[in-house]
Amino acid sequence: MHLGRPTETISLRSPILIKQLVIAIYPGSFDPITLGHLDIIERGAKLFDQVIVAVLCNPSKSPLFSVEKRINQIRESTPHLKNIEVDSFTGLTVEYAKSRQASVLLRGLRVLSDFEKELQMAHTNQTLWDGIETVFLATTKEYSFLSSSIVKEIAQFGGTIDHLVPENIARDIYTYYS
């Protein structure tokens, strides 16, 4: 039987079970990745068979770091996670998810304003493809205020950001603003 998604055969004496792998896409700008994003990636990696961290190429935004740089930054920040892939995409997230045989969109929730935006996006995506489920992970308390924009704002004015982003990202940001 063709299930349309990657499968894994697990032998438990008998009978043979076919387990459907659950692939989650974690889409975002990640400009740059913060410890808040990393926390969601690490927790997602425990919940799903594979997590694809997908950097959105948005031509209407002028990011701090190029898409290629952001991909490398995320890879450098996640060597300890074996079921993570980092990629980029353009266009509709659901189309990308389909092309990667993913059934879950992973998103993080911080404050109430995130909820409104995220709920609208989740409902919209469901109307585009009902094969996708959005799964929200609540932020860890200490990262509830943390966003890429906050990090950039602090760094721009010469503040310390070592406690907000992985070490390699802090180096890149300090270099950028020096």
Is residue 88 classed as helix, strand or coil in its secondary structure? strand
Q: Find the shortest distance in angstroms from Cβ 73 to ligand ADP.
A: 12
Nearest Cα neighbor of 55 from 42, 37, 39, 43 is 37
Of 69, 110, 147, 152, the catalytic one is 110
Is residue 51 classed as helix, strand or coil in its secondary structure? strand
Residue 148 designated active-site = yes
Residue 98 designated active-site = no
Of 37, 77, 103, 107, the catalytic one is 37
Task: State which residue, 4 or 145, has the beta carbon closest to ligand ADP.
Answer: 145
The binding site for ligand ADP (CB under 6 A) comprises: 28-30, 34, 36-37, 40, 107-108, 110, 114, 139, 143, 146-148
Residue 64: both structure tokens together: 């701090």
Task: State which residue, 9 or 62, has the beta carbon closest to ligand ADP.
Answer: 62
Does 166 sit behind a cis peptide bond, omega within 30 degrees of 0 on the bond before it? no
Nearest Cα neighbor of 102 from 83, 119, 120 is 83
The answer to whether the beta carbons of residues 52 and 102 sit under 8 Å apart is yes
Residue 37 designated active-site = yes
Q: Find the shortest distance in angstroms from Cβ 14 to ligand ADP.
A: 43
Q: Find the shortest distance in angstroms from Cβ 166 to ligand ADP.
A: 13
Inter-CA distances, 67 with 127, 141, 160, 178, Å: 28, 29, 24, 21
The Cα 71–Cα 169 span in angstroms is: 12
Task: State which residue, 5 or 176, has the beta carbon closest to ligand ADP.
Answer: 176
Of 2, 61, 141, 163, the catalytic one is 61
Task: State which residue, 108 or 166, has the beta carbon closest to ligand ADP.
Answer: 108
Q: Find the shortest distance in angstroms from Cβ 99 to ligand ADP.
A: 19
